Amino acid sequence: MSGLPRWRPESGDTIITESLFRCVPFALAASLLGACAGLPPPVGPDYVAPEIILPSTWSAAASAGGVEAGGDLARWWRQLGDPRLDGLIDEALAGSLDLRLAQARLRQARASREQAAGGLFPVLSGSAGASRSRSAANLASLPARTIYDAGFDASWEIDIFGGTRRGIEAAGADLAASEASLDNTRVSLVAEVARNYIELIAFRRRLAIARDNLASQSETLQITQWRYQAGLAAGSDVEQARTSREQTRAGIPDLEIGQAEAGNRLAVLLGRLPGSLQAQLAEARELPDLPAAVGAGIPADVLIRRPDLIAAERTLAAETARVGQRLAKRFPSLDLGASFGWQAYSFAALGGSGSLARAVSGTLAATLFDGGRLKSAVDIQSAVQEQALVSYQGSVLAALEEVENALFAYAAGREGVEARRAAAVAARNAAQLSRNLYQSGLVDFQKVLETERTRLSAEDALATAEAGMRTNLIKLYKALGGGWAHSAAWPASAGPKGKEAS
């Protein structure tokens, strides 16, 4: 080697040297990342989705007429055939503050996942500087010196036992849970908009019934006053008629309050100011139609249809990964470091062969005694994992209960509406007949009061039942997880698993 001619850098060679040196950090990063493939599997438990025992069919499906095995639940409200409701839900999905909040949380979870993934990469940094120093007084003959330096530093914690990889796994599961929470917000938002829309129309119908009965009772009071003036009725009949009319009038403000609250709540759900929908919904007075059939599916569908269950299952996966993340801290850690740069007494000399400085370091560290803190951290996380499992299992049972209750309520509501409709028709006929008979002097006034009270009660109950029927349908769709589009990209192996009960 000594016989070879020595290379002396020229000005052009310095540029080439600097270009090569710029590539060094990236080459180092590539080589370090390539070493990741040879790392052992991460410590801690590998996540396996829990197996849930489920019934093969809904027990209430037999009594709930018009229940189908399948159906598109993503836009279930379209089945109601109300364009005004369709527009409100579309506006809510575009402007809801609750959705914006969930979307911000999703962006946070996505950034956390990227931050966790950054732990696998080495940290590269570059620096440049200059320092000027003067010697002590007894060395004053030496001139002041300026030292210029520039270079790169790299540090990397080798993920030998998989703590970083488990952290990435947990962050990925958290991200999936946030996505499911966003979908669950959509489900709840759509259901709330539809429910408040139904309530608004129901209050308007009940108000119309109350005002119609108020007009009828005012006519009855007028008739009673005429009969009293003619000496055909007692003064008590007049006061009873006035009492009945005022009681009906007293109930109207409560219905107006309910109507205003439903309208204001509906506006806020859309991200608008309270009261801003009055003009837009002034003509909304008829309840939407009921669909001919409801696609309830089978109980196993609930596990992949309900976003809240998906979020709970992904949370369990995240907490399982964190057990390994905590466990990895009990094992030794290996840190590698390297620096590469130049030092010279003049800026022009930087980059020359004589100014090159480099260093490599490695540190192996392990906790020898900590009073059991690291072990306790693993035990704490194992308990958190168990809580997540129990919470998920409880959420599944609660979801099945919601669907069964909604199916029963929908089935019972159908029968109740038909009975109340027949009762309302009979009550109207009885009230009209008793008024005619009283006007002819064939029945006493007490009979008129009873039939008018019955008519008001029956018609109000019918309006409430018809609205309740649609509210029960909304609850059923919400319990089934309707209101969001299931992604075909969702990995089947990562999701919850259901098994039919034997």
Determine how many CB atoms are found less than 10 A away from the CB of residue 338. Answer: 20
Range of the domain at 184: 13-134+151-500
Which runs of consecutive H residues, i.e. helices, occur in 36-162?
83-95, 97-117
Residues 6+ apart with CB under 8 A from 343: 147, 148, 149, 350, 355, 357
Buried b (16+ CB within 10 A) or exposed e, 423-432: bbeebbebbe
Residue 140 domain flag? no
Q: Are strands 497-500 and 51-54 parallel, antiparallel or unpaired?
A: parallel
125: which strand partners? Answer: 153
Residue 188 domain flag? yes
Rounded alpha-carbon distances, angstroms, from residue 62 to 58, 66, 115: 8, 9, 51
Do 167 and 183 touch, CB atoms closer than 8 A?
no
Residue 141 domain flag? no
Number of domains in the chain: 1
pLDDT, tens digit (0-9, with 9 covering 90-100), for 383-437: 999 999 999 999 999 999 999 999 888 888 888 888 888 888 898 888 888 878 8
Burial of 360 (0-12, 13-18, 19+ CB in 10 A): exposed
Written in H, E and C, the secondary structure of 466-483 is HHHHHHHHHHHHHHCCCC
Supply the CATH number for residue 60's domain.
Answer: 1.20.1600.10
Lowest mean pLDDT among 86-100, 133-147, 447-461: 133-147
11 band by pLDDT with thresholds 50, 70 and 90: very low
What is the CA 175 to chain-centroid distance, rounded? 12
The DSSP element (H or E) to which 421 belongs, if any, is helix 373-439
pLDDT at 227: 76
Residue 367 domain flag? yes
Residue 195 domain flag? yes
- pTM attached to this predicted model: 0.81
Residue 453 domain flag? yes
Residue 385 domain flag? yes
65 band by pLDDT with thresholds 50, 70 and 90: low
Dihedral angle sign, alpha carbons of residues 374, 376, 379, 383: negative
